[in-house]
């Protein structure tokens, strides 16, 4: 589930339903892969917003994240507003706390086998014989393996983590 799973974390019921559906349709040994915003990084950035700031916003020209509350951090329904240049215009999204996610996934028979920040995924796979050419084809990198992302785009890319769970 790419760039959408965190919407289920609006409530415990929606998150459970999503994980149960994933588990129901995976065979034992099957892999569930996805991406979610990096909750630790988002909450760390929120802490970095000065107390006297007019609002709880951080980001750059490419992306912006705005929280409504600095102190209230529930496991489910921890809403923020997300803007992504030329793609998303201030939509509500939800924090996914990794430990909570892992615990809930285990209840559905899903166990973590991979978790990396996007920058690390990029570094790890850019020269891989199979994945490197895919990155060129998807225009993530040029023919020399170099990224054409500017600093703001690079920062925006790293607000995500990639994960994989195996059904047992």
Domains recognised in the chain with CATH numbers: 5-167 (3.40.50.150)
Helices (H), 34-163: 39-47, 98-107, 118-125, 131-137, 151-157
Strand partners, 83: 64
Strands 63-67 and 79-84: antiparallel
Strand partners, 141: 147
- Nearest CA to 160 out of 84, 69, 66 is that of 84
What is the pTM assigned to this prediction? 0.89
- Answer whether residue 80 shows pLDDT above 90: yes
Which residue did the predictor score with more confidence, 131 or 69?
Answer: 69
Q: Distance from CA of residue 35 to its chain's centroid?
A: 5
**Residues 62 and 154 sit within 8 Å (Cβ to Cβ):** no
**Residues 149 and 91 sit within 8 Å (Cβ to Cβ):** no
Torsion angles phi and psi, residue 34, rounded to 5: -170, -175
**Alpha-carbon gap, residue 54 to 99, rounded angstroms:** 32
Q: Which residue has the tokens 């999204």?
A: 93
* Residue 139 pLDDT class (50, 70, 90 cuts): confident
Helix (H), strand (E) at residue 25: helix 12-25
**Alpha-carbon gap, residue 95 to 60, rounded angstroms:** 20
Q: What is the mean pLDDT of the chain?
A: 93
Q: Which two tokens stand for residue 128?
A: 């891989």
- Answer whether residue 100 shows pLDDT above 90: yes
Q: What is the mean pLDDT of residues 44-64?
A: 96
**Alpha-carbon gap, residue 108 to 102, rounded angstroms:** 10
**Alpha-carbon gap, residue 99 to 101, rounded angstroms:** 5
């Amino acid at each position: 589930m790419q760039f959408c799973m965190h919407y289920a974390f609006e409530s415990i019921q929606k998150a459970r339903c999503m994980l149960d559906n994933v588990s129901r349709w995976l065979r034992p040994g099957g892999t569930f892969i996805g991406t979610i915003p990096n909750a630790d990084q988002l909450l760390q950035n929120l802490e970095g917003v000065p107390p006297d700031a007019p609002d709880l916003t951080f980001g750059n020209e490419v992306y912006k994240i705005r929280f409504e509350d600095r102190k209230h951090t529930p496991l489910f329904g921890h809403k923020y507003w997300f803007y992504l240049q030329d793609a998303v215009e201030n939509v509500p999204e939800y924090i996914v706390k990794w430990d909570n996610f892992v615990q809930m996934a285990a209840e559905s028979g899903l166990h973590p086998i991979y978790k990396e920040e996007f920058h690390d995924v990029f570094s790890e796979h850019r020269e891989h014989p199979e994945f490197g050419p895919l990155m060129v084809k998807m225009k993530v990198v040029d023919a020399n393996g170099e990224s054409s992302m500017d600093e703001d785009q690079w920062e925006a890319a790293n607000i995500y983590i990639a994960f994989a769970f195996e059904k047992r």
